[in-house]
Amino acid sequence: MLNIALIVAFGLVAVAFGLSFFRLIKGPSLPDRILALDTLYINAIALLVLLGIHLASPLYFEAALLIALMGFVGTVALSKFLLRGDIIE
């Protein structure tokens, strides 16, 4: 039963990843693309966590944590650049 749930979860997160990537490429404005990039890294975290559950390895959870930290900093930096035109004041 757990394997079926993992396969379904992998499939749904992969579809969400693809749709976010499509929005990143086609997005009509820069804020839409930043939001799509934010959603992309969240989907990548979900895929890594699912892979960690499937393989029973804690290494993937640590990688997901690092992607979460880098994604947050990247989103903040891009948003600050979009609002003010510079990142460092």
Identify the H or E element spanning 63.
Answer: helix 59-84
Q: Where are the domains of the chain?
A: 2-84
The 10 Å Cβ neighbour count of residue 30 is 11
pLDDT of the residue at 66: 94
Whether this prediction's pTM lies above 0.95 is answered by no
The class of domain 2-84 in CATH terms is: mainly alpha
pLDDT in tens, 22-80: 999 998 998 899 899 999 999 999 999 999 999 999 999 999 999 999 999 988 888 88
Q: How far apart are CA 82 and CA 59, in angstroms?
A: 35
Please write down the long-range contacts of 54-63, taking CB distance under 8 Å and 24 or more positions apart. Answer: 54/6
